[in-house]
Amino acid sequence: MSNLPEQTAWESGIHQLEEEDRAKAGPGGVLNIQATQLANRTRWLRAQVESVEDYREYTFYKSESDPDGTITGRANTPEGKIFRVAQGLNDDLAFIYYLNDSDTAVPLTALLGRGAITSTIRQFSTLELAENDVAAGNIPDGSTTYVRSTDDTALAVEYINNGGTLQATGRQMPSQRFVEELAGNFFTALSVIDNAVNNCGLNIDNAVKNCDLITNALKNTSEKRASENYTAIAVVVNTLENLCILLDKNYTTIPSMNEDRLNLLMLSSRLLKILEGLDGFDPNAVLTRADIDEVGGGEYETIAGIFSYPEPTSLITIDLTADKIPASKAEGDVNATAVITLDGSVFSSRCKISVQGASSASYPKKNLNIEFFDKDFDNNIELKIGGLRPQDTWVYKANWVDSTQCRNLMCYRLWQAFQASRSGYPKYDIDATYVGKKGKDGFPTGATAVPAGYPCVMHINGEFYGIGTFLIGKKRDNYNLKKDSPLQIQLDISQWISLNAMSANYENASLLEFKAPKTVTAETVAALSSWDAFAGADITNFASQADEKLDKQNLIDFYLFVTFISAADLIHNSSANLIKNVQLVTWNGTKWFFMPYDLDTVFGNNWAGGYSYKPAENLPWCVGSFWDNVRAVYGNDIAARYKELRDKKIISADWVYDMSTHIQTRYPADAYENELAKWSVTTPALPYFSNNGRDQLVTWAKARIAAMDTYFNYAE
């Protein structure tokens, strides 16, 4: 292999490859032009560095007619040479070095000057050290500095250089002891203020009661206003007093109340900025309150009420501030403030949090619905991440029974991978909603017809709550379903129910919930009855109606999907025709789709987080007359699709390894340790944390695939 020929030359430009260029290598070939030009520049720069001098002979100075000195420098420096321009005595830079490139001064580097030292804020532990720096010329005449106090009356004392002598200015930084005397009252007042601001506009009577509490909380604080030396403390107290005056008002009109609420937010923000400058103040203790004047979204509002953020590449951080964490679904909504950080971008919003889930609601660590609102709780706002459809409610999934923290999200992505591997159109299940549509109706909404989301960590009131997953859930919007179209139906099956018992139980909310339509009509019930008749039919009637009642591709993929992952909480593997957590969806009242949900009891995991389902057992997974009919009608197609998914490495241990690794490595190791420390001491405790992991997932998947290969007669 030969090397590129190099020359010591400064190339005036770098060649840009064009579409019509012929891809030719070798000497003079177009593929080597750029590399040769860059190599020449590099060799030239190396020569310059190795022969660098002080450039005294090319030193120039700024003047009124030549403000930056480059006019004189270019005129008196040979082409391709470096010259320098001297800066001012107290400037941060002593010299700036330029390259004379075709009569253009190209700045290359700079040398630090006296100002880089004297302009630095300086603090000294003793007055003697400060005086030594004055003598050395590091503290210019007229500049100020701080010296640590010798007692606890102040943290530091300000001095000014007055003609070479340091003199106290009379200004001091408050000491930690003084701040601690007031801190209790300050933070009590802040807490009451924050709650009053949150409740103001929701309940005026309660806001007025909160005002009385603030008045009492500030009584001692205002009496302790310090001497003139403590100007910062006086400003703090003054701010709190103004807050108290505002909150003590009795409002008769909403507009006047809202105007003062803005003042409350402004003063609260001002107070926190003042406190940030005090020694020992921890801004992390009031993380979300520091953003209180930003509540209502952020800088990513693409259209009114919708805030869009790129798909995150790192762990999402959720910080909630709430009066309490709801302990059960019966407690309903709790008002809160959410600050969500996505790759450094911040979304903040008022929100309502509530417990999500059925059996999982009894666990100490809760799944939480987070519903976003504007500042006044008047209207919902929506959060859009990546290509997903905007949602006003996202779900924090605690993953209590899955200590790997990846089963749910990994399997949702696996279901998407199944669909992505299909050929032709419609490809994804959701594409059925676009077939034949034109214009606005045919525009993709970002709905996925399956939950989607990202790894996250949650803090509540400044304390670690847990790691988990931030998801869009099973709301009808994510299935492109209308609110009240009688034949657009989404059944959320919350308890075990027979596949042909929908119409008989449509009013039993403990078994199934209508996500759509909102109003169940006779037409809706008739569609359920028609489905029940088909689901319970004999093989002859089933076969004659299968293409009308089922989406063949969806059904086959769903069958293989639940069989591969052993979806113990979707399809009962020992009781005939029972389903649970399945989202049974139709967009026309006739053709039905099976959609997965709640996928933490998979890959051998049981409902309590333990190991129950051996990989080589329970084949077929789906049992009962309905599934017997499916195998009778589509058996060859199922086997062919299994081979396709195996050949495409989607049903593979490698896929499980890659995706579980991708998800788990988003969580820092310390986050797992915090999770274990917090939830292994509760009653009940976090289950089977040490008996689960990526190794179990991959090992189980390998054994499951081996058994399925035999069952479906797969051969590469």
59-88 confidence digits (pLDDT tens) = 899 998 999 999 999 999 999 889 999 998
| Average of per-residue pLDDT across 407-424 | 97
Tell me which amino acid residue 206 is: N
Are 527 and 488 spatial neighbours (Cβ–Cβ below 8 Å)? Answer: no
Half-sphere exposure of 67 (CA within 13 A, CB side): 0
| Average of per-residue pLDDT across 252-270 | 53
Q: Is residue 114 part of a domain?
A: no
Q: Is residue 59 part of a domain?
A: no
Q: Is residue 512 part of a domain?
A: yes
Residue 451 and residue 600 in one domain: no
Taking only the tens place, the pLDDT of each residue in 462-483 is 899 999 999 998 999 999 999 9
Taking only the tens place, the pLDDT of each residue in 435-464 is 999 999 999 999 999 999 999 999 999 899
Residue 303 and residue 377 in one domain: yes
Residue 256 and residue 161 in one domain: no
| Token duo for residue 141 | 């005449």
CB < 8 Å & 24+ apart, contacts of 81-85: 82/48, 82/55, 82/58, 82/108, 83/55, 83/58, 83/59, 84/55, 84/58, 84/59, 84/60, 84/111, 85/59, 85/60, 85/61
Residue 299 and residue 205 in one domain: no
Write the DSSP symbol of residue 549. H
Rounded distance between C-alpha atoms, residue 144 and residue 160, angstroms: 4
Tell me which amino acid residue 40 is: N
Residue 536 and residue 631 in one domain: yes
Q: Is residue 151 part of a domain?
A: yes
**Residue 191 confidence (pLDDT) above 90:** no
**Residue 562: which of 587, 607, 598, 537 has the closest Cα?**
598
- Tokens 């084949």 sit on residue: 619
**Residue 598: which of 429, 454, 460, 399 has the closest Cα?**
399
Are 149 and 156 spatial neighbours (Cβ–Cβ below 8 Å)? Answer: yes
Q: Is residue 64 part of a domain?
A: no
**689: how many CB neighbours lie within 10 A of its CB?**
16
Residue 183 and residue 167 in one domain: no
CA angle 708, 548, 582 (to 5 degrees): 50
Residue 561 and residue 678 in one domain: yes
| Average of per-residue pLDDT across 348-361 | 87
How confident is the prediction for the chain on average, in pLDDT?
83
**What angle do the packed helices 204-223 and 231-247 form, to 10 degrees?**
150
**Residue 393: which of 381, 385, 377 has the closest Cα?**
381
Question: Which of 134, 154, 173 is where one domain is finished?
Answer: 173
Rounded distance between C-alpha atoms, residue 408 and residue 565, angstroms: 11
Q: Is residue 251 part of a domain?
A: yes
How many domains, in total, are found in the chain? 5
**Residue 637 confidence (pLDDT) above 90:** yes
**Residue 403: which of 64, 48, 687, 78 has the closest Cα?**
687
**Residue 564: which of 538, 597, 537, 603 has the closest Cα?**
603
Q: What is the pTM of this model?
A: 0.62
Q: Is residue 680 part of a domain?
A: yes
Residue 151 and residue 183 in one domain: no
**Residue 251: which of 264, 268, 238 has the closest Cα?**
264
Residue 569 and residue 694 in one domain: yes
| Token duo for residue 494 | 């919350």
**Per-residue CA distances from 593 to 367, 558, 589, 628 (Å):** 27, 9, 11, 18
For a pLDDT cut of 90, what percent of the chain falls above it? 53
Write the DSSP symbol of residue 500. T
Which residues does residue 83 pair with via DSSP β-bridges, in sequence order? 98
Q: Is residue 262 part of a domain?
A: yes
Kindly indicate the confidence band of residue 309, based on its pLDDT and cuts at 50, 70 and 90.
very high
Rounded distance between C-alpha atoms, residue 568 and residue 575, angstroms: 12
Residue 611 and residue 704 in one domain: yes
Question: Which of 129, 146, 173 is where one domain is finished?
Answer: 173
Residue 701 and residue 659 in one domain: yes
| Token duo for residue 447 | 């709905």
Residue 450 and residue 543 in one domain: no
- Tokens 């809706």 sit on residue: 524
Contacts of 568 (CB under 8 A, 6+ apart): 601, 602, 605, 606, 607, 612, 613
214-228, 645-659, 664-678: the lowest-pLDDT one: 214-228
**302: how many CB neighbours lie within 10 A of its CB?**
12
| Token duo for residue 393 | 């409610």
Domain that holds residue 689: 481-711
Question: Which of 173, 191, 212 is where one domain is finished?
Answer: 173
Phi/psi for 406 (5° steps) reads: -135, -15
What pLDDT, on a 0 to 100 scale, did the predictor assign at position 243?
A: 57
Rounded distance between C-alpha atoms, residue 697 and residue 703, angstroms: 10
272-281, 317-326, 386-395: the lowest-pLDDT one: 272-281
| Token duo for residue 679 | 């939830």
| Token duo for residue 186 | 């300050």
